[in-house]
């Protein structure tokens, strides 16, 4: 794992940008660029379910529809992380992309 950038957000919370296999790092949470239906068929999401197990997809299905500009957290199955943040960002051309992206990266 190679650290690209590191920022201390608050006491005890550090955000690190790393180059690594997202399915093999032992961190608090990983971020999955998700679709609104949380169907994890390919790309990053497919790799996460392949390595972490079908329970990730099953938990996602229970969550239901996730609007663009929002995020939800699920368990991590067999992955070494504690949880998965599924973030639904905008598609280019749908309008107001900058605000939707900023909104999708904020967790309450």
The pLDDT of residue 7 is above 90: no
Calculate what percentage of the chain has a pLDDT beyond 90.
56
Query: Mean pLDDT throughout 72-89?
Result: 94
Per-residue pLDDT reduced to its tens digit, 47-56: 999 999 999 9
The pLDDT of residue 9 is above 90: no
- The CA distance from 54 to 28, in Å, is 20
Average pLDDT, the chain: 88
Radius of gyration of the chain (CA): 14
Per-residue pLDDT reduced to its tens digit, 49-78: 999 999 999 999 999 999 988 899 999 999
- Yes or no: say if 6 and 14 are a contact pair by the CB < 8 Å rule: yes
0.75 cut: is pTM over it? yes
């Amino acid at each position: 794992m190679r650290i690209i950038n590191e920022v201390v957000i608050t006491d005890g919370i550090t955000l690190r940008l790393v180059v690594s296999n997202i399915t093999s790092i032992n961190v608090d949470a990983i971020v999955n660029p998700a679709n609104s239906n949380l169907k994890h068929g390919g790309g990053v999401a497919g790799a996460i379910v392949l390595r972490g197990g079908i329970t990730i997809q099953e938990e996602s299905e229970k969550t239901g529809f996730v609007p663009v500009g929002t995020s939800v957290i699920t368990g991590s199955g067999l992955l070494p992380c504690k949880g998965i943040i599924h973030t639904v960002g905008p598609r280019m051309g749908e309008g107001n992309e900058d605000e939707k992206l900023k909104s999708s990266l904020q967790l309450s």
